[in-house]
Amino acid sequence: MGQITLEKVTKAFGEVEVIPPLDLTIEDGEFAVFVGPSGCGKSTLLRLIAGLEDVTSGAIRIDGTDATDVPPAKRGLAMVFQSYALYPHMTVRKNIAFPMRMAGLSQDEQTRRIDQAASVLNLTDYLDRRPGQLSGGQRQRVAIGRAIVREPAAFLFDEPLSNLDAALRVGMRLEISELHKRLATTMIYVTHDQVEAMTMADKIVVLRAGNIEQVGSPLDLYRTPRNLFVAGFIGSPR
């Protein structure tokens, strides 16, 4: 389960409407990428879905149920923050366990989920280290591990690789795609990087100034960009 629907969602900060009325559906199990230039509203849109911002009007549905007024912790979604959001004084194990401790899961269940996440993410040998003793890629995996153990209906990523160097970014991009195949869980991934969008997405949502310019598969957007903005952004020969 993990279908996410936005119905006529708007968001204004004071007088400024940064998201005009917007309709969008992300299907269960889909890897959706929100792409567009800096300031176009990608993070705002993700935070609205996560419940970290309230919509100004409109509705958000998760698996058909109205979640517009549901607090973030109860939406069943997991936001993956950049790796620097880890707790530096806690071990990897404690960092990954943190959301489960907050949710009051039993010690046995916590251990089971930590072991499973660590195995998927190749972190088994690092569980007793602290974030400062890990590479950038390992730290990013811990941040993902902290999301996995919540067994969310969908993962929400906001430019998770932007503070990694170029070589590491390529590796992590492949790892996240692999993880998506393995878990078959909905993922929404925000980036301003066209290459990430084109290589990772089932569905790309191209945003400009809060508007959806086009929604489609990477191939659709490449072959039939709706306008010059999309063509220029995706790098189509038009």
Least distance CB 158 / ligand ADP (angstroms): 7
Q: Which of 130, 121, 51, 145 is nearest to 91 (CA)?
A: 130
**Interface region with Mg ion, contact rule CB under 5 A, candidates 19-27, 43-51, 85-93, 116-124:** 43-51
Q: Is 194 in the site for ligand ADP (CB under 6 A)?
A: no
Residues 37-76 that bind ligand ADP (CB under 6 A): 38-44
Least distance CB 99 / ligand ADP (angstroms): 24
Least distance CB 84 / ligand ADP (angstroms): 17
Tokens 């010059």 belong to 228
Pick 13 or 87: Cβ nearer ligand ADP: 13
CA separation, residue 122 to residues 134, 138, 145, 154, 175 (Å): 13, 9, 10, 21, 11
Least distance CB 22 / ligand ADP (angstroms): 13
Q: Is 215 in the site for ligand ADP (CB under 6 A)?
A: no
How many C-alpha atoms does 78 have within 13 Å on its Cβ side? 22
Q: Is 163 in the site for Mg ion (CB under 5 A)?
A: no
Partner whose footprint covers residue 18, from Mg ion, ligand ADP, none (CB < 5 to 8 Å by kind): ligand ADP
Pick 151 or 159: Cβ nearer ligand ADP: 159
Nearest 5°: phi and psi at 150? -80, -5
Which pairs from 124-132 meet CB under 8 Å and 24+ separation?
126/92, 127/91, 127/92, 127/93, 127/96, 128/91, 128/92, 128/93, 129/91, 129/92, 130/88, 130/89, 130/90, 130/91, 130/92, 131/83, 131/86, 131/87, 131/88, 131/90, 131/92, 131/95, 132/88
Partner whose footprint covers residue 95, from ligand ADP, Mg ion, none (CB < 5 to 8 Å by kind): none
Q: Is 13 in the site for ligand ADP (CB under 6 A)?
A: yes
Interface residues with ligand ADP (CB under 6 A) are 13, 18, 36, 38-44
Interface residues with Mg ion (CB under 5 A) are 43
